[in-house]
A and B are shown apart, each in its own frame.
Chain A
Amino acid sequence: MTLTVSPPAPVQTPANPPSRPRKAVPVRRALAYLLLSVLSVAVLVPFAWMVSASLKLDADVFSVPIQWIPAEFHWENFTNIWERIPLLTYLRNSVFLSLTITALQVLTGSFAAYGFAKVRFPGRDALFLAYIATIAVPWQAYMVPQYIIMQKAGLVNTHLSLILLQAFGAFGVFLMRQYYLTIPDELCEAGRLDGLSEYGIWARIVLPLSKPALASLALLTFVNTWNDYMGPFIYLTDNKLWTIQLGLRSFVGLYDAEYAMIMTGSVLSVLPILVIFLLGQKYFVRGIATSGLK
């Protein structure tokens, strides 16, 4: 999968500006295009199959040979599914959890990040280290104590348990702090001289400047919460509280031969994420790149 196709590069004649030497090798570019196209199509095949199957009858899903474009489009799958499972309830629960958790994470995360990045006090760095250290501990290692705490608090099988568990993550603090470090201290200093309190500096200077990072954090948190399976799987037993992921999983378990309907549900569960992703792609990429560069 590496660059096995590149032909030996001809020795560059330095007559034309050498800033983009690779432009001079059209064969190489063509091959790169070809390879990239083939591989991208291969990566997208599962999605194509998902969409195609969602518009078929169950009996036609596994036809031989494979029908990539359905002979007949069964759009009614997309209306029938709402009656087959309480999809609306699942979607509502997912939206509620994702929005609440994202809002809390962004708010408390960016607030705490200001304390870590712009206020100097004894013990600050040790505290930050504790935050970082827990990112490295696998969540599975402490999910049982978490569960015991929630059980003792009587919060198992409530949305509140998931909100509490996921809204105060260390990741948001880390991401926002990294961004705040790039904001010059002189700006905060100027705010101080103008008589702003630290809270005022956070709200009026730092927060408006960190919109890209806030967007990254919000999108990553939203998508993570929307797609989360284990949290709801462990904590939510009541059907009325289920998220779209749990609902879809249980549908698959109950009606494992209704292939088309399962794919219809899958498409519907992915669709909101696709829209959000296409709108905010820039911020996703930036968020991931920042969290990777320490």
Chain B
Amino acid sequence: MATTLSAAGTGRRRSSTWIGWSFILPNFLGFAALTLVPVIAALALSFLDWDSYSTPRWVGLDNFERMIHNDTFWTALKNTAYYAIGHVPLTLCAALGFAVLLNQKLRGARFFRTALFFPYITSLVAVAVVWNMLLSPDLGPVNQFLRAIGIDSPPGWTTSTTWAMPAVIVASVWRDLGYYMILYLAGLQTIPAELYEAAEVDGANGWQRFWSITVPSLRPTTFFVLIMLTISSFKVFDLIQVMTEGGPGRSTLVLSQVIYREGIVQGRFGYSSAVSMVLFAIVLTITLIQFQLQRRSER
């Protein structure tokens, strides 16, 4: 766009503005109406008292006040944090481990990569259903196996208030590890082989090479993976909705389900938006903290 013969600079800029917008517009119309406006509206809604049958009324922070006195909200918040604390580190370690193994130029690496990635694109309902059966308390294969190795009373998994969340976490780690493994594989490709060769000449063993070369070189990837994983754990919804519907009791109820139940099932638009603002604030805060840590470690 730098060299043109046309003289009139402003006229040219105006026409390029017009051309640029004409490219963006078809997508932007849909994007603005159904993403941008709702994002902004969600913020405004959280300050309104508005049910599906009443007229909207400004109530300031009332929704938030109701929320902090609400038991279900706190349960859901705790459960969401529990899920994240289990899901994030486990998925990260599994993805990194598999990526390092796959990166060794083994024959058949392609097959393994395909196999490990496949759970990620498998339909969620199938995943949830098959895991529910695998984890079935009496006759499920998992508990059969646990009994065979001498555990007499294996957990009741999705039927137990204590074990339902671990069950969901296991299924979700299984499902997601392939995606993050691909990200790590892409990161591993960027590490120069000379680094490993030099370390090997210096007598570093595999474990030392992993900690002193692989892990530090992957820091940008890990940073990205951490952010993506954290955001996705706090958004968790569909897997839990299909596997346990938040139960038994409220033992796997998460924030997204509260938003769905309050906002769409019950039609309490204002209150559910307040909950969604909390979800957004948490995700934003964690992302910003991770950005800060990343910047500090780069110094």
Contacts and interface: CB of A to CB of B under 8 A. Distances in A.
B182 interface: yes
Interface string A1-19: 1111011110110100011
Interface in A9-52: 9, 11-12, 14, 18-22, 28-29, 32-33, 35-37, 39-40, 43-47, 49-50
Contact of A149 (B33, B129, B200, B259): B33
B129 A248 contact: yes
B83 interface: no
Interface string B5-19: 000000001001101
Interface string A36-75: 1101100111110110010000000111111000000000
A44 B130 CA distance: 12
A292 B224 contact: yes
B134 A46 contact: yes
A85 interface: no
B1 A11 contact: no
Interface stretch (A76-84, A207-215, A268-276): A268-276
B259 A11 contact: no
Among A137, A202, A229, max chain B CB count under 10 A is at A137
A112 B207 contact: no
B141 to A, nearest CB: 5
A122 B216 CA distance: 40
A259 B139 CA distance: 12
Given A33-B106, A119-B20, A145 B260 contact: no
A112 B27 contact: yes
A249 B260 CA distance: 18
Nearest to B224: A292
Given A22-B104, A145-B41, A266-B126, A109 B139 contact: no
A249 B125 CA distance: 6
Contact of A9 (B130, B200, B284): B200
Among A123, A142, A164, A273, max chain B CB count under 10 A is at A142
Nearest to A128: B24
Interface stretch (B62-70, B149-157, B160-168, B273-281): B273-281
Nearest to A278: B114
A46 B125 contact: no
A142 B41 contact: yes
Contacts of A121: 13, 16-17, 19-21
Contacts of B185: 289
Please tell me the size bucket of the interface on B.
Answer: 35 or more
Please tell me the size bucket of the interface on A.
Answer: 35 or more
A61 to B, nearest CB: 8
A227 B123 contact: yes
Interface in A76-109: 107-109
Contacts of A245: 123-125
B19 A46 contact: no
Given A32-B106, A144-B264, A49 B20 contact: no
Interface in A120-140: 120-124, 127, 130-131, 134, 136-140
B31 A262 contact: no
B112 interface: yes
Contact of A168 (B34, B124, B225): B34
A230 interface: yes
A165 B38 CA distance: 11
Interface string B258-299: 011001100001001100110110011001000000000000
Interface string A254-292: 000001001100110110011001100100110011001
B23 interface: yes
B72 interface: no
A263 B130 contact: yes
A252 interface: yes
A218 interface: no
Interface in B137-191: 138-141, 144, 174, 177, 179, 182-183, 185-186
A179 interface: no
A133 to B, nearest CB: 8
A131 B27 CA distance: 11
A205 interface: no
A50 B127 CA distance: 10
Contact of A145 (B16, B23, B38, B238): B38
Given A142-B35, A288-B182, A136 B283 contact: yes
Contacts of A234: 260, 264
A196 interface: no
A1 B94 contact: yes
B231 A266 contact: no
16 contacts: A3-B101, A29-B104, A47-B122, A121-B17, A136-B284, A138-B234, A141-B42, A142-B42, A143-B38, A145-B42, A146-B34, A189-B1, A189-B3, A202-B23, A248-B123, A289-B186
The 9 closest A-B pairs by CB, nearest first: A168-B30, A6-B206, A115-B23, A62-B139, A1-B97, A145-B38, A144-B263, A108-B27, A266-B126
Given A20-B105, A46-B134, A144-B272, 14 more contacts: A1-B98, A6-B205, A32-B106, A44-B118, A49-B133, A121-B13, A140-B256, A141-B279, A167-B30, A168-B35, A169-B35, A288-B179, A289-B185, A292-B221
